[in-house]
Structure 1
Amino acid sequence: MTQLFIFNEISRAAIYGIGTYIQQLISCLDDEFQINIVNYYSDKPEFTIIENDNVRELYIPRNQLKYTEGKCDETYFINSVYLLSDFIEPEKKIIFHFNHFRYEKIFTLLREYWPTCKIILGIHYFNWCFPLNGNTGYFREIIQKSPDDLTETLEKDTQNAYKQDFAFLQNTDQIICLAQYAKALLCSDYQIPENKISLIRNGLKDEAIFLTSEEKKAIKEKLHINPNEKIILFVGRLDKIKGVDHLIRAFKKLLQERKDCRLIIIGDGEYSKCLQECKDDWGKILFTGKLSKEEVYQFYRLADIGVMLSKHEQCSFVAIEMMMHGIPIIASNSTGLDEMVIDGVNGYKIKTIENKDEVSFDTDECCRLLSLALNNNKEEELKNKCRRQYETHYSLACMKEKMQTLYKLI
């Protein structure tokens, strides 16, 4: 039996992405694996163990120590190894699967205690993507500069973070990329050998339910939505990196062309700026806040178009959910999202405009693509192609086969 330790953090990232990834990952594994989920930054008052079937969850309370020269987290993670040691059987195969760019200080300790262990890192994001809004060109410009040529704090911080991540990646046994974009970046900019990288895209269990026209009308009426309205759907955090402001501006332009549409925005975050963007068209734009999975899936069943103007993504679960429900996607061609949407197959792509100070999108072009998708006279064919993209590349079965192969061969 293989002892697998999957590392998680109780945070917004866990709620919106990595948490979903871990749920799907567990579904990929059989009885040959003893699964342990290590939850850092737990709100539980003490170290807690919860066992359910073949999954054991270990909750490590949030750090109570005060920061001293940035060493607080380092001490917290090192101490966690001592907690974990009581649950590790050294005679078995041991795999540590990390999902964040941290913990480098405990790698040495793990290898010292369990010399035959294997350390895997899943790349769900790159730290530099957040301050640079996913601007890959600017990132490459920064890391190629000599330290003396770095004039801005942003550039200095980015180069320092790159050097730390570079060293961190070298200390792993295997790296899981969710997108070809990330794999290419690791090979070219982080000098990781290709045989150390596994491309395993996110997968989701198929839970799509398809409604008849009459069933859709009934649900719309229940929600006080005009049954004849076309629904344009956004799902995600209301953050700058998601491009919601550009979407709202494009939708307002679309309303000048046709009135039979409604924009529904699902998610929490920065409402104030979004509401300001909606001025004069509030009646056509619905904010639901954060919803349960069941509620979100109800809107997927009603949606005609999904929109993702993200400035950076690796392998979006929202995009997969939309494909699973047969929803054509208007998406940016940024980072990993570029390879998830194929023009005319499962949606349409808009060019990401990358400048040093800003990453943006052409609102007129976005409006044009929305109109193109709404006026498509082969609507059912496009929806069927969306489903095929999901079934071929992003189903749980695809992910399961590759994950089991990796874990067994490493």
Structure 2
Amino acid sequence: MKKVYILDESISSKRNGIGTYTRQLVRILKPVAEVCVVSFNSESKELAVVYRDGIRQIMFPPFPTGNYTSNGDIISVAFKIYIGDDSDNLIIASHSPCSDFLAMVRKYLPLSKIIFVIHDFEWTMECAGSREKYTRIIKAGKRKNIKNRYSFLINRYDEEKRIYSLSDKIVCLCHESFCLLRDLYGVDEKKLSLISNGLPQSKKGDRAAVRKEFFIGDDEKVLLFSGRLVSAKGIDILFSAFEKVLQQNSKARLVLVGSLNFHAEKLLASYPHAVSRITVTGFLSKEILQKWYTMADIGVIPSCYEQCSYTGIEMMMNGIPIVTTDGYGLSDMFKSGENASVVKLNGCKCPKNTAEDLADAIVSLLDSEELCEYLGKKAYEAYKNRYQLKYMRMGYVNLINEL
């Protein structure tokens, strides 16, 4: 039987998609492999091995630097003691940059296989999710002016190539990443696996009862956003669009599920009239978030880039009509008129135009129950046909059998 070791950065993964990913991965691999979660920067005060729900966990206390990937020499020695080297070992890593760390794992555990999962690229922030812009920069990287201006991106490109060369398999969560690794990074297709994220079906509550519980009026239209309240997730565009929506529908309410930060606070202060119709919930438990999905009239995903959005999957799973951009990764998940209303982002070059288009798309849905019903139904079908947990399970079972 294969022995799978899932590397997890405990502090950050509690509040982001990697934590959700890890929980689902444990769930689908537990019946077919020996699964162990290796938690770095855990709450443990010393290196410890514990068992929770039948799953072995190796817990590392925080390193002085707070960055486990820069402590590969220490970790690899611990791996040799607590994991041991075996051709049936599969080590799943996903935090980057980590080439030195993976090189150390290779040195101490040469028989073990490494699977690297791409949850994000650092270039997406610099290039606002534009794969075309990033490709142009890398291809022109030898030119002095480009090399000086984009030295960080070029150095990170070299770092990522090294990560991929050290990995036995690379999992891409969306087709765009698969193509990028093949075409720009020169990774052999045989080394790549395209496996979308998946989630089990959630139980939807009684909409009227939940709305009453949360003091949401029957005539209010809830626009739901869930995620980090940062520019990369499109909240600047969303705020501008929402003010325009209110000019045509004063019953709309924008609900932001995410923790407030300085940038979001500044944005709220910039819209003194619209703020009366904006609710910021802070970080929510899974159970409370599900209630907001039950209440939502429209889901909004204005991001510049994603890989395979769990928020998007959750909205589809709940049959919510979705307005989104065609940002990196999102264009894989959503097709305009088929399972969502999709607004062109144009690499965030014209945020004003994008905000206007986003507002128009939202208003069109608010004005048409028929369109909402159609897109909600199609969104749910997309979940059933592609993003159920069984498809993710199938992908990873095939992957570990290959190795």
TM-score (norm 2): 0.93
CA RMSD of aligned residues (A): 2.2
Q: Distance in 2 between matches of 1:91 and 1:13?
A: 28
Q: Which moved more, 1:176-185 or 1:226-235?
A: 226-235
Query: Greater shift after overlay, 347-356 or 230-239?
Result: 347-356
1:173 equivalent in structure 2 = 168
Counterpart contact for 2:304–2:348, Cα < 8 Å: no
* CA pair 146-233 structure 1, distance change in 2 beyond 3 A: closer
Structure 1 residue 278: deviation in Å? Answer: 2.8
CA distance in 1, matches of 2:148, 2:260: 27
Shift in CA distance, 153/205, structure 1 to aligned 2, threshold 3 Å: farther
Give the match for residue 99 of structure 2. Answer: 104
- Which deviations, in whole Å up to 9, do the C-alpha atoms of 1:3-23 show, x marking residues without a partner? 111111123355211111010
Counterpart position of 2:228? 237
One-letter code aligned to 2:145: L
Cα distance in 1 for residues equivalent to 2:351 and 2:159: 25
CA distance in 1, matches of 2:70, 2:113: 22
**1:119 to 1:361, Cα distance in 2 relative to 1, 3 A:** farther
Q: Distance in 2 between matches of 1:234 and 1:33?
A: 36
Structure 2 CA distance for aligned equivalents of residues 102 and 190 of structure 1: 16
* Matching of residue 123 in structure 1 with residue 125 in structure 2: no
CA distance in 2, matches of 1:167, 1:344: 40
Residue 278 of structure 2, aligned match among 277, 285, 295: 285
Distance (Å, rounded) in 2 between the aligned partners of 1:40 and 1:188: 33
| 8 Å contact from structure 2 (residues 84, 109) kept in 1 | no
Distance 2:63 2:215 in 1: 47
Does 2:3 correspond to 1:10?
Answer: no
28-37 or 176-185: bigger deviation: 28-37
| 2:166 partner letter | N
Could you report, residue by residue, the CA deviation over 1:386-406 in whole angstroms, capped at 9, with x for unpaired residues? 111111110101101111111
- 1:366 and 2:361 equivalent? no
Paired letter, 1:131: E
CA distance in structure 1 between the aligned counterparts of 2:175 and 2:205, rounded to whole angstroms: 31
Shift of 1:73: 5.7
**Counterpart in the other structure of 1:69:** none
Q: Which residue of 2 aligns with 1:64?
A: 64
Q: Deviations over 1:227-252 (max 9, x none)?
A: 21111100011111011121111111
Tell me whether 1:257 sits opposite 2:248 in the alignment: yes
Q: Quick one: distance in 2 between partners of 1:374 and 1:302?
A: 15
* Equivalent position SS for 2:247: helix
Tell me the amino acid that sits aligned with residue 202 of structure 1.
N
**SS of alignment partner, residue 362 of structure 1:** helix
Contact 1:97 1:119 in 2 (8 A): yes
CA distance in 1, matches of 2:141, 2:126: 20
In the superposition, the TM-score normalised over structure 1's length comes to 0.91
CA contact (8 A) 1:37 1:58 kept: yes
- Closer/same/farther in 2, CA of residues 297 and 53 from structure 1, 3 Å limit: closer
Aligned-residue offset at 1:266: 0.9
Query: Which of 136, 141, 144 is residue 136 of structure 2 equivalent to?
Result: 141
Find the counterpart in structure 2 of residue 396 from structure 1. 389
Q: Distance in 2 between matches of 1:339 and 1:276?
A: 35
Cα distance in 2 between the residues matched to 1:324 and 1:355: 28
Inter-CA distance 275–307: structure 2 relative to 1 (3 Å threshold): same
Provide closer, same or farther for how the CA distance between residues 337 and 50 of structure 1 changes in structure 2, counting only shifts above 3 A: same
Sequence identity (%): 29
Q: Alpha-carbon deviation of 1:46?
A: 1.2
Structure 1 residue 174, shift from structure 2 partner: 0.6
**Displacement after TM superposition at 1:111 (Å):** 3.3
Contact 1:183 1:197 survives alignment (8 Å): yes
Q: Which moved more, 1:344-353 or 1:11-20?
A: 11-20
Q: Distance in 1 between matches of 2:129 and 2:351?
A: 8
**Counterpart check, 1:228 vs 2:219:** yes
Distance 1:409 1:157 in 2: 35
For residues 155 and 360 of structure 1, the distance between their equivalents in structure 2, rounded to whole angstroms, comes to: 27
Shift of 1:121: 0.4
Shift in Å, 1:75: 5.5
Aligned mate of 1:202, from 197, 202, 210: 197
Q: Equivalences for 1:234-383 in 2 at 5 Å?
A: 234-270=225-261, 271-354=264-347, 362-378=354-370, 379-383=372-376
1:60-83 Cα distance to aligned partner (Å, 9 max, x none): 1222269xxxxx866512211111
Deviation at 1:361, TM superposition (A): 5.6
Report how many residues are paired.
Answer: 400
- Kept after mapping to 1: 8 A contact 2:90/2:115: yes
